[in-house]
Amino acid sequence: MLKVNCHIDSQAIACKQNIVKKYDILEKIASLSSEIYGLASAEVLDAMQERENLGSTGFGRGIAIPHCKISGIERPMGVFLSLNKAIDYNAIDDESVDLIFALISPVNNGAAHLHALAEVSRLLRDEKSCAQLRGTDNADSIFALLSMNSELNAA
C-alpha cells in the first residue's frame, strides 16, 4: 500500500527469515508472489535474477530493493522480507543486507515502476523507518509501518 504506486498485501510480508544466500531471497520473493498475488513463481524468479545479473539491487545500509517487470499485472506489487541475520548481497557499500523490499511491476508501464521504486527507496532511506522495520518480528506491525509511511508521504 505504498501510496497508490505500489500494492503490498499484508500476507506478502515475511519477518525474521533464516535465509543465508541471495538466491534464496529471490526464491522466497518468487514463492510469496505466487502464493499471494497468483504470479508465476518461475517467471518472477527469472526476472529478478535477470535484473540482479545487471548489477546488485543492494543499495546500502543493509537494504536491498530487488525489482523486475513482468507481463500480466496491472500495477506494481511488493513483497517485504526481514532477515534474522544480515547476509552478503554485493551491495553498493559492501554492507550485508537484512531488509528487502521486492518490487514487481507491469512490463508495459515504466512510469509506474519508476514512481513505485522511488517511493520504496525514499521510505528505506529513512533511518527511523528502517529502525522500526528492524525492531519488529510481526508482519502486521510491519504492514502498519509501511501503510503509515505511505499515508505520511502522500500528505
Residues contacting 48, CB < 8 A, separation 6+: 26, 29, 30, 66, 67, 68, 102
Are 137 and 16 a contacting pair, CB within 8 Å? yes
Select which of 7, 67, 113, 115 is catalytic: 67
Is 67 a residue of the active site? yes
SS3 126: coil
Amino acid identity at 123: L
Instruction: Give Cα 11 distance to the centre of its chain.
Output: 13
Which residues are catalytic, by number? Answer: 67
